[in-house]
Amino acid sequence: MDSKLGKNKELGLYIHIPFCHTKCTYCDFNTYSGLENLIDNFSDSIYKEINFWGITEFYIVDTIFIGGGTPSYIDTEIIKNIINKISDNFLLSKNPEITLEINPEDVTKTKALEWEKIGINRCSLGVQSLVNSELKILNRRHDSEKAMEAINILSKIFNNISVDLIYGLPLQTKDSYIETLKKIISQDINHISCYSLQVEKGTVLDQQVNTNKIHVANDDLSAEMYKITQKILFENDFENYEISNWSKQNKLSQHNLKYWTMKPYIGIGPGSHSYIDNKRFSIIKSPKKYVDFFKKPLKNISSIREKILYLRENDFLDVYENQLRENEILEFLMLNLRLKDGININKFKKRFDLDFEDLYLNKLDYFIKENIIFKKEESYILSEKGKLFANEVANNFVK
């Protein structure tokens, strides 16, 4: 068994659960509230899609991320069945990282023990803030007390817990953000993701901002908050391994690293994205259309390429892109730039048979002089200051 596993490429699986009790004002993900009547049929469809993708050759699944939406909102039995279906249809590594995205209001000791029993070994908790006025304006269902209670329950059962925070929120000040950050650190959390609030078109937040009902942080304040994040987490022994992600005790998100290092992954569920066989594609977004698709029998297909073609021909894909070499190079540069180790010129050479410095060093001259980017051994890396200018640096790689 081990010798066979050694020949397989590592593969990540993302399972999208699009249901939420309520939708947050800033959310532009493919999520829905008020569609609970679809959950049973939806779960059957998820099982069928897992069966359809089943791969027992060439790939070994070493990360599973069950996200949404709010997967902690649905019955634990469905999560259990999803994991069992994956186990039945894919080769799994000995100790795969299995993450469940969780909202604090769903956490009870009973549910946490059930999650642990069915194989969940990493929790990603959407806290966002520990200031009640900030949570209320985002339409979050939990308050600060419930968030802390959830962390306390989970930390007694799991040793791999990540907390999501947002800075630049309406009503938020530097002091209130620092208060949230320090409270989270005090709970001995080993992974923290901190994101700048983005006002996405079509969201409730976008409407509120456009009508001047609320105001969000400007770029200068958001930048100041990011610097605060860097400083406080560094002082508390967190490693900033990706621009918005900090880890200690070697608890990096192995699944998300697949996205940033362009390793293969398959997304299952409405609106989910995949990158495999040098192709990028996403599933149709509508949960109802997704369920309807699986009411008919599916063709039994073995090869990845033929599976993708079958989904395209049956109008099951929302987006499809056969990745061109030029796009692959650009993605490699932009994603690696976000990582702690930066752009390694030897890896670039090995992957593309091109000389990074010949192609791009003149474009980086200004950023090097301004201490935005620096060279360390065989890599070009963003400085702490430079992380505020990642987009500007990345744009210089675009021809």
Q: What is the pLDDT of residues 167-189, one digit of tens each?
A: 999 889 999 999 999 999 999 89
Half-sphere exposure in the Cβ direction for 179 (13 Å, CA): 11
Q: Does residue 139 carry a pLDDT above 80?
A: yes
pLDDT tens for residues 233-284?
A: 999 999 999 999 999 988 999 999 999 999 999 999 999 999 999 999 999 9
Cis upstream peptide for 69 (omega within 30°): yes
Q: Are 340 and 311 in contact (CB under 8 A)?
A: no
DSSP string, 109-176: HHHHHHHHHTT--EEEEEEE-S-HHHHHHTT-S--HHHHHHHHHHHHTT-S-EEEEEEES-TT--HHH
Burial 74-92 (b: 16+ CB within 10 A, else e): bebebbbbbbebbeebbbb
Q: Are 166 and 197 in contact (CB under 8 A)?
A: yes
pLDDT tens for residues 319-336?
A: 999 989 999 999 999 999
Structural domains for the chain: 2-259 (3.20.20.70), 343-395 (no CATH)
Please state the φ and ψ torsions of residue 67, each to the nearest 5 degrees.
Answer: -130, -170
pTM: 0.93
Give the pair of three-digit tokens for residue 229.
């994040």
Max Cα–Cα distance, the chain, nearest Å? 62
DSSP string, 304-355: HHHHHHHHHHTT-EEEEEE--HHHHHHHHHHHHHTBTT-EEHHHHHHHHS--
Q: Does residue 35 carry a pLDDT above 80?
A: no
| Pairwise CA distance, residues 64 & 61, whole Å | 7
